[in-house]
Amino acid sequence: MDPWGLTTAGLLACVLLLIFFSLWSQEFKRGKLPPGPTPLPFIGNILQLDFKNIPASLSKLAEKYGPIYTLYFGMQRVVVLHGYSIMKEALIDQGDAFNDRGIIPVLEDIHKGRGVVFGHGERWKQLRRFSLMTLRNFGMGKRSIEERIQEEAQCLVVEFRKTKGQATDPTFILGCAPCNVICSILFHNRFKYNDEKFLYLMKLLNENFQLLNSPWSQLYNLLPAFRVYLPGKHKRLARNVEEIQRFILEKVKEHQKALDPNNPQDYIDCYLSKMQQEKDNSHSEFDLENLLVTGSNLFTAGTETTSSTLRYGLLLILKHPEVQAKIHEEIDRVIGHNRVPSIMDKQDMPYMDAVVHEVQRFIDLLPINLPHAVNQDIQFQQYFLPKGTTIFPLLTPVLNDSKEFPNPDQFDPQHFLDMNGKFKKSDYFMPFSIGKRSCLGEGLARMELFLFFTTILQNFSLKSVGDPNEFSIRTNRFRFSLPPYYQLCFLPR
């Protein structure tokens, strides 16, 4: 063998040895980490996972190792939380330690820890507090968030009426509505559903969502070292995010010209005022870059989640005619046909409230949640979790808990009703996760779901095309549980 070959072979051997050694020493320190299956070099435990149904594989491992265990997703060490009580113990009782965001490799390179979804420490705290206040209507002018949603719900009805009872795939229209709600909050105007700019924005959001949910991105997340071989798609993802941010930047510039700090109309106005207030504070997190990233976060986190839930929900209602009949009865009794539904109606509509909860429970939109991380070394139960450890606080085991929800695999609004037909709350209802890092848009999303479902069913009877039982309801589940494509008819009532 020539000397170069020897050197290369020697180097390779050294590298492999080093990798083995580091994994082995991790293994060695593991005395203090939660138990779990032994990882292989590079690929970790991925052979133990069924990629068609990750939540099921994770539950199987919990049967063997208990409610908290360690798993290697490729080279990334992850501590999995499985079940209600461990979730509560970590995210609530020790919430301050568990509220850091874990890394999603495919997004990390793009966001670099900016914005509210991927921010850490003080930056995250400031952006989160500000965004929550704004979404709760503090200082956003006279029009409440509820009014913005009601307006959009009426536009949705107009759009569905145009289908004249013909078979329709609702995907596009149900995607427009939540996107427009975010537009209305960020820059106080909605778009027509055929506006070119709006369609372009939707296309970008949609494409990124597809990219994020593709096998390609799962591979990337498992084995970040692979990214050098997968540059094309990653570039596309990054470019789309940039385009969304450019779109927001345009709006920001318009707002800067017309800003009246005493009379802010929307999120961008509020943010710009805040920037002015803090312009002498060199540690302020309220800079332009965080505005663009947070704005794009709100679009990404708030559009596809809500629209998939609506789409899935209508399909479930189609499949259960008895549920639709009860909803119609309740709407006619409480609201009638002469006024638009408002959020106040919810307290008089326990059945609708239960349906919305059951839709969210049943569809289990984000089975493995978003990753968290511990922001300090901590002692948790009898284990030691080093600072930075990635945590997967799983939602499926809680939403599908068979003690709390008998027959958890069935769609049944009775899961949220008591014997007298009153709404029954459950602590196990956590599709938005729990604790300080839980969904920032929970209040908004719940208002949208109630108002959109109620307004649609106030105005239409849903009729299926063909046999609704043909659609399989449970599809591939990894990051998102998506409904199948389907058509239905909206018959005016």
Ligand X SMILES: *[C@@H]1O[C@H](CO)[C@@H](O)[C@H](O)[C@H]1NC(C)=O
Residues that bind ligand X (CB under 6 A): 55-56, 59, 396, 400, 402, 408-409
CB of 53 to ligand X, least distance (A): 8
Closest separation in Å from C-beta 364 to ligand X: 7
Is 316 a binding residue for ligand HEM by CB under 6 A? The answer is no
Q: Does 307 bind ligand HEM (CB under 6 A)?
A: no
| DSSP helix/strand/coil, 384 | strand
Min dist. Cβ of residue 269 to ligand X (A): 44
Question: Smallest distance, Å, CB 118 to ligand HEM?
Answer: 7
What residue 296 binds from ligand HEM, ligand X, none (CB within 5 to 8 A, per partner kind)?
none
Closer CB to ligand X, 74 or 408, in the complex = 408
Looking only at residues 399 through 438 of this chain, which bind ligand HEM when binding is defined by CB under 6 A?
431-433, 437-438
CB of 69 to ligand HEM, least distance (A): 19
Backbone phi, psi, residue 101, to 5°: -90, 130
Asked if 204 and 175 touch (Cβ cutoff 8 Å), the reply is no
59 binds, options ligand X, ligand HEM, none, Cβ within 5 to 8 A by partner type: ligand X
Which does residue 409 touch among ligand HEM, ligand X, none (CB within 5 to 8 A, set by kind)? ligand X
Minimum CB–partner distance for residue 362 and ligand X (Å): 10
User: SS3 of 49, please?
Assistant: coil
Which residues in the 100-159 window bind ligand HEM by CB under 6 A?
Answer: 101, 116-117, 128
Handedness of CA 434, 216, 58, 397 (dihedral sign): positive
SS3 69: strand
The entry of ligand X, ligand HEM, none that residue 297 binds, CB within 5 to 8 Å by partner kind: ligand HEM
What is the Cα–Cα distance from 414 to 447, expressed in whole angstroms? 21
How many residues bind to ligand HEM according to rule CB under 6 A? 26
Return the number of the residue (151 or 401) whose C-beta is nearest ligand X: 401
Token duo for residue 452: 């959109």
Full 3-state SS string of 132-196: HHHHCCCCCCCCCHHHHHHHHHHHHHHHHHCCCCCCECCHHHHHHHHHHHHHHHHHCCCCCCCCH
Residue 205 CB, shortest distance to ligand HEM, in Å, is: 12
Residues 6+ apart with CB under 8 A from 78: 70, 71, 72, 102, 371, 389, 390, 391, 392
State the burial class of residue 442 (Cβ atoms within 10 Å of its Cβ: 0-12, 13-18, 19+): middle
Q: Can residue 444 be called a binding residue for ligand HEM (CB under 6 A)?
A: yes
- Supply the minimum distance, in Å, between the C-beta of residue 305 and ligand HEM: 4
Which residue, 446, 432, 115, 438, is CA-closest to 296? 115
Using the rule CB under 6 A, is 176 a contact of ligand HEM?
no
Spatial separation of the C-alpha atoms in residues 227 and 432, rounded to whole Å: 30
Answer for which of 45, 218, 290, 306 binds ligand HEM (CB under 6 A) is 306
The nearest distance, CB 419 to ligand HEM, in angstroms, is 29
Nearer of residues 223 and 267 to ligand HEM, judged by Cβ: 267
Residue with smaller CB distance to ligand X, 36 or 408: 408
Dig out the tokens for 7 from the structure: 């050197």
Site for ligand HEM in 352-391 (CB under 6 A): 365-366, 369-370, 372
Is residue 478 within 8 A of residue 106, CB to CB? The reply is: no
Report the residue number, 147 or 409, with the smaller CB distance to ligand X: 409
For ligand HEM, the closer of residues 97 and 489 by Cβ is 97
Question: Per-residue b/e over 472-492, b at no fewer than 16 CB within 10 Å?
Answer: ebeeebbbbbbbeebebbbee
Residue 39 C-alpha from the chain's centroid: 29
> Which residues bind to ligand HEM, rule: CB under 6 A?
101, 116-117, 128, 297-298, 301-302, 305-306, 309, 365-366, 369-370, 372, 431-433, 437-441, 444-445
